[in-house]
Copies of this chain bind each other. A is one copy, B any other.
Amino acid sequence: MGEADERPDRADAPGQESAPRTFRLVLEYDGRGFEGWQAQAGARAARTVQGVLGEALASIGCPAAKIQAAGRTDAGVHAEGQVVSVVLARALEPKSLLRALNARLPGDVAVLEACEVPPGWHATDAARAKLYRYRIWNGAVRSPLRAARFAFIPEPLDLEAMRAAAPAFVGTHDFSALRAAGSSARTSVRTLRSIALTGASGGEIALDVHGEGFLRHMVRNLAGTLVEVGRGRFAPADAARILASRDRGQAGPTAPAHGLTLVRVWDGFGD
């Protein structure tokens, strides 16, 4: 996969400035200022996490041949533990790379960890599972201090009903009912390992979705659907019917992006 694979002998040789090296980075970012991880086709001028990281790498003399992420987060979606692979033209101490990048990156994105990985390692392919958290502020009044990271739903939600509905989505299913319109994935079959709902009606609520793969908008559509259960518009038993329908029109609306955070990626490092 990629040019690093084609010359492993040179990549292993120390001091070879021209040998490409692959690094694994863990990123945290506040999604509000970004048009997502990468620009959609035809939107090249957008500010993206991939673009900002590429500029920072170029500014420290390490233009990256490839920058790939485990989860291609959408506009407004945050990350506490996004994993990225970058192929750089030269060898570099991971600690120096981390420090240099954090000095150049803007305040809304930071590199939490950096290590060198074998040539050909690719963050997207290496991701075996991911944890997304959807945060809801269920207070009666909007919360200025939570506005950046929580979706605001003032109507008291029935958490027990939401918890009763959630298991229908766990396991391997065709998630067409929760798939964004225009999504280009080859198949809609994905596997969710668990869905956990914590917090309390009237307060902070967190929906943790642990899965092996996700369709575009899948977590936000799942959150929107469970919120409709919490509001009483859907019964818990409707969840299985909605999923089986494979019809996006049967599920709830797409919950807002700013409530969603990519919390963690499982890719064999520090699992």
Contacts and interface: CB of A to CB of B under 8 A. Distances in A.
Interface in A236-271: 261
A14 interface: no
A141 B98 contact: yes
User: Chain A: interface residue count, which band?
Assistant: 20 to 34
A29 interface: yes
Contacts of A261: 145
| Shortest Cβ-Cβ A-B pairs, 8 listed | A30-B144, A108-B144, A110-B144, A110-B142, A112-B141, A28-B144, A29-B144, A110-B141
A265 to B, nearest CB: 16
A164 interface: no
Given A112-B141, A145-B149, 10 more contacts: A28-B143, A28-B144, A28-B145, A29-B144, A29-B145, A30-B145, A78-B145, A107-B142, A107-B144, A110-B143
Interface string A107-128: 1111110000000000000000
A28 B110 CA distance: 28
A55 interface: no
Nearest to A111: B141
A148 interface: yes
Contacts of A142: 102, 107, 110
Contacts of A30: 144-145, 147
Contacts of A108: 144, 147
28 contacts: A28-B143, A28-B144, A28-B145, A29-B144, A29-B145, A30-B144, A30-B145, A30-B147, A78-B145, A80-B145, A98-B141, A102-B141, A102-B142, A107-B142, A107-B144, A107-B147, A108-B144, A108-B147, A109-B144, A110-B141, A110-B142, A110-B143, A110-B144, A111-B141, A112-B141, A145-B149, A145-B261, A148-B148
Nearest to A26: B141
Contacts of A102: 141-142
A83 to B, nearest CB: 15
Nearest to A114: B141
Interface in A21-42: 28-30
